Structure 1
């Protein structure tokens, strides 16, 4: 039986000590809280690119800031500092915060983003619950990418999960019961779901050979999933343009390499066989010899590195 570590400590530690609220807070009506933390698995940068795009495209302001000195281990991910001639002039200090934004229809919603906390997960989760209560949040939604054995030439899949089946409309999943390393995002869904909160997660399926690269297509799929689950409408034109450019560059790389072209063709055949239901045991069948995901990724990473060097 799972032990509930949240009982008892709330009388000793105050979760509200972990954050500060901004001044002149607006009154909100059942806003959605969209969140993503950097540091956990995020193939293709799906969650990071999606929320980063929203913060770049939409006006927003900070309404709550977390105490990163308590939550982060600076020695595990040291912030960048700038030294100029004979003195230190700046530090790129990490920020974990909640921002208020409005979608293209004017509907307000909240964005929580920043580095994933290294410590005090239970207290942090309770602090998020207090903020959810304070802002009257109706639904929490998180997105991230996971590497899957699939070709980039097929539509990206999405694995949805939620605190109630009704929230995802009975969508099926290719996963059974599995144990995986935990994350703060998952713990928020678990703990707040136990309190009756509505929370949804969307894991975007990213081709395994592109998992380490920035893959804007995954961010587009993430925002489309959020729109479907919440009704929020986002500006995505520039993100789609970036996705089209990335796809064109990938196709250029494949055309210039017979090995890559053969590998992708084989992966397409095996993926289609799996999707049709003829191969249930593995997502990739073993009949056609092909490079491993790491070998494919290495070739694409070299190509993307050359592209970045050329562009910048």
Structure 2
């Protein structure tokens, strides 16, 4: 029998905590707009933190399916970007301690990894586990971002009702953690931020803002948001610049706005993933925005 505790090592003495929240995002599944990565990455960039646990990625990852980056300089190797999956301890703006788990989604040993997360959460006396990621939706960026909340108990789920019924989707480790932890009586919830489908492949800071705002409502944690909101405002301005220069894009966004407004008013109850009016696909819109962003990067460089 494999021991789940063999999958991680503790870094230093464990802190004395009382019902901390554990926020987690593991890269590998859908994360439209980089919502989860940007949100938790922002917190680690803004808040002082220390690693309290490190997982054994050599056991968990298939390096050949997503090869780490190495740097070659002239005639020798100078760097290796080793993947890390860690749990960090930090504090919010009020001094409340909480935990962040980030890194690549494991390729193997999902059940053992989930058991290890549960054992680590018990040792750290975690009171609530919260995941966040982005999903692409047929919505315009000119309207407030929606979200789908889900949890291990109905009482944990707040906000507007989900636009989805009962569906089957590809499995992912974030969902499995919520499912397994909930079955053992732990409070676990998650937020899927609805990101405009044409921005799904780009970094969209507004999605990270929506994610952290949702986490604040669900946990009471207070985060530094100024720099992230500034980045969101800058991105929105750049998107508007691109749209104003293209009649095709402007018409497509107007079509999405009409569809969204009709859905919100109850005039039609189509899934927002559908496109009821002729317009460019999400891939076509995304390609135009990516071309614009590439041109912007060339100008900046």
Shorter-normalised TM range? over 0.9
CA separation in 1, counterparts of 2:188 and 2:227?
28
Give 3-state SS (helix, strand or coil) of 1:118's partner. coil
Q: Is 2:171 the partner of 1:213?
A: no
Once the two structures are TM-superposed, the CA of residue 108 in structure 1 deviates from its matched residue by 0.3
Give 3-state SS (helix, strand or coil) of 1:101's partner. strand
What is the RMSD of the two structures over their aligned residues, measured on CA atoms? Answer: 1.1
- Please, what TM-score do these two structures have when normalized by structure 1? 0.94
Match of 1:39 in 2: 28
Q: Is 2:188 the partner of 1:223?
A: no
Match of 2:161 in 1: 172
Q: Is 2:48 the partner of 1:59?
A: yes
Once the two structures are TM-superposed, the CA of residue 171 in structure 1 deviates from its matched residue by 4.6
Give 3-state SS (helix, strand or coil) of 1:173's partner. coil
- Please, what TM-score do these two structures have when normalized by structure 2? 0.97
When residues 212 and 310 of structure 1 are mapped into structure 2, their CA distance, relative to the original with a 3 A threshold, is same
CA separation in 2, counterparts of 1:281 and 1:291?
18
CA separation in 1, counterparts of 2:271 and 2:155?
29
CA separation in 2, counterparts of 1:153 and 1:281?
19
For the 8 Å contact 1:117–1:184, the answer to whether it is kept is: yes
For the 8 Å contact 2:14–2:124, the answer to whether it is kept is: no
For the 8 Å contact 1:279–1:285, the answer to whether it is kept is: no
Unaligned 5+ runs, structure 1: 1-11
When residues 242 and 260 of structure 1 are mapped into structure 2, their CA distance, relative to the original with a 3 A threshold, is same
> Which of 255, 267, 272 is 2:261 aligned to?
272
Provide the aligned length of Structure 1 versus Structure 2.
Answer: 300
Once the two structures are TM-superposed, the CA of residue 90 in structure 1 deviates from its matched residue by 2.0
CA separation in 1, counterparts of 2:116 and 2:138?
37
> Which of 173, 178, 186 is 2:175 aligned to?
186
Once the two structures are TM-superposed, the CA of residue 285 in structure 1 deviates from its matched residue by 5.1
Once the two structures are TM-superposed, the CA of residue 80 in structure 1 deviates from its matched residue by 1.1
Q: Is 2:71 the partner of 1:82?
A: yes
For the 8 Å contact 1:254–1:260, the answer to whether it is kept is: yes
Match of 1:24 in 2: 13
> Which of 211, 217, 239 is 1:250 aligned to?
239
Give 3-state SS (helix, strand or coil) of 2:222's partner. coil
Give 3-state SS (helix, strand or coil) of 2:19's partner. coil
Q: Is 2:123 the partner of 1:127?
A: no
Q: Over residues 128-179 of structure 1, what are the superposed CA-to-partner deviations in whole Å (9 max), with x where a residue is unaligned?
A: 0000100000000000000000000000001000000101237511110000
